[in-house]
Amino acid sequence: MKYAFIHRHRQAFSIQRMCHVVGVARSGYYAWRQREGASSPKRSQQAIIDQHVAKAYHQRKGRSGAPRLTLDLRDDGMPINRKTVAASLQRQGLRAKAARKFKATTNSRHSLPVAPNLLEQNFTASAPNQKWVGDITYLATGEGWLYLAVLIDLYSRKVVGWAMSERMTADLVCDALQMALWRRKMPKGVIVHSDRGSQLRFKGPSQHWLMMLKIVVL
């Protein structure tokens, strides 16, 4: 167990110091590692993967989970999938830490055009698909921070569309809107109400969807 502990944390701490702290000889650790590596080709491959994953994890200061680390490793030329990275993190006892400070979800101070407020604080509806309200929030998960965009129908108070991503972009909101449109069979004349966040200013391909809706942003 001591050797396994040293092996899991070898990217963060000196092997010599850990051997001294837990009371084992460094030569004993290397002998154990050689036995473990020779015992199975699968273990040998896992050890290599663990080394790369641990390095990427510590480079991100322990604040990223499998999705982000997978992208980092691919950028470094290592073909690997998210499940393999997640398994390696679990095997090494590594989990993403929540950051102490987090950036606000939306940016209301932008120079983009702002639509008139058609809702005027009237958050009631007499029928489905009259008024949808949306916002972006963030969640701390075992794989790091994730952004969640949600659209709710004010008539039933049910979620009609949602999307989740590692990045807070207009595409995130468009994906939630696209889900709502398909689930509600492409209604017309819906008022979609949100804050003034710049992510909610739709551009480019998303205009295809907005042609079917009346959009209002504070």
Tell me, yes or no, whether 118 lies in a domain. Answer: no
In a domain, 158, yes or no: yes
Is 146 within a domain?
yes
Instruction: Quote the pLDDT of residue 33.
Output: 78
Which of 208, 209, 148, 203 shows the shortest CA–CA distance to 180? 209
22 contact partners, CB below 8 Å, separation of at least 6 = 2, 5, 6
Q: Which of 92, 114, 142 is the last residue of a domain?
A: 92
Q: What does the pLDDT read at residue 120?
A: 61
Contact 73, 52 (CB under 8 A): yes
Q: Is 175 a domain residue? A: yes
Helices 82-92, 41-59: inter-axial angle, 10-degree rounding = 90
147 within some domain? yes
If asked whether residues 6 and 87 sit together in one domain, one would say: yes
Q: Are 149 and 133 in contact (CB under 8 A)?
A: no
**Is 98 domain-assigned?**
no
26 plus 88 within the same structural domain: yes
- At 81 the pLDDT is 92
> How confident is the model at residue 168, as a pLDDT?
77
Q: Is residue 63 located within the same domain as residue 140?
A: no
How far is the C-alpha of 199 from the C-alpha of 178, rounded, in Å? 15
Q: In this structure, are 165 and 213 located in the same domain?
A: yes
Residues paired with 147 in a beta bridge: 138, 165
Which structural domain range is residue 64 located in? 2-92
Does residue 79 belong to any structural domain of this protein? yes
Identify whether residues 163 and 213 lie together within a single domain: yes
* Domain CATH for 135: 3.30.420.10
Number of structural domains (the chain) is 2
Please report whether residue 102 resides in a domain.
no
**Of the candidates 92, 121, 154, which is a domain's last residue?**
92
Residue type at position 185: K
Displacement of CA 208 from its chain's centroid (Å):
27
Alpha carbon distances (Å) from 64 to 12, 56, 83, 137, 142: 15, 9, 15, 18, 9
Q: Which residues pair with 191 in a beta bridge?
A: 131, 214
pLDDT, averaged in runs of 10, over the chain (218 residues)? 79 84 83 68 80 89 87 90 91 73 48 53 82 83 78 90 83 87 88 61 42 39
Q: What is the pTM of this model?
A: 0.42
Domain final residue, candidates 92, 123, 144: 92
Please tell me whether residues 24 and 71 are part of one structural domain: yes
Q: Which amino acid is at 217?
A: V
